[in-house]
Amino acid sequence: MRRFIQILIGIPITFGSLALMSGGVQPALQIVQLSLLCTLGISLVVWIPLCWFVGWVVLKIVESISGQILVPYDSAEISNNVLREQNVSLAPENISLANYIEKGIKQGWSETQIISRLRAQGWNDEEIAEAQLVVRAKLEGNS
C-alpha cells in the first residue's frame, strides 16, 4: 500500500517537473502520450519506477521533517520495526527456538505446553519470552 501511495505522490510531481522542463502542460502531455504510443506502453517500465522514486524521496523528506510516519508500512515491515524499537533480536542459536514455538502454535499447542516443554529442554524464561515476541510479531504480520 505504501508503494502505491508513493507512486500516487510521484505522478503529479514528475508530471509537473516534466511540464516545467518542456514548457507547459500540453508539451508534457504530448511527451507522455508519444512515449506510451511509440513503445506500445513499454515506457511504463520507466515512468512507474520514476514516479515511485520521486514519491519515495518526497515522502521520506516530509516524514523526516515532521518526525511522523504519514503512510503506514506493510504489516511485515511494521512487525520488524516494532522488534527493532524494542531491541529484540534473536541470536542465531535461538532461531530454532522461535521456529519451535511457531510450529507449536500452528499445531494448536497451548502457551503453557510450549513453555513447559522448552523449560524441560533447558531454555530459560528470558530466551523463551524473546522468541515468543518475535513469533507473535511474525504471525501478526502474516495475518
Higher pLDDT, 140 or 45: 45
- Total residue count of the chain as it appears in this document: 143
In Å, what is the CA distance from 45 to each residue of 16, 35, 51? 19, 11, 11
Q: What is the pLDDT of residues 64-89, one digit of tens each?
A: 898 877 777 654 454 455 555 555 55
Residue 143 pLDDT > 60, yes or no? no
Q: Which residues are CB-contacts of 30 (< 8 A; sequence separation ≥ 6)? A: none
pTM value is: 0.52
Strands (DSSP E) found in the chain: none
Distance CA 5, CA 8 (A): 5
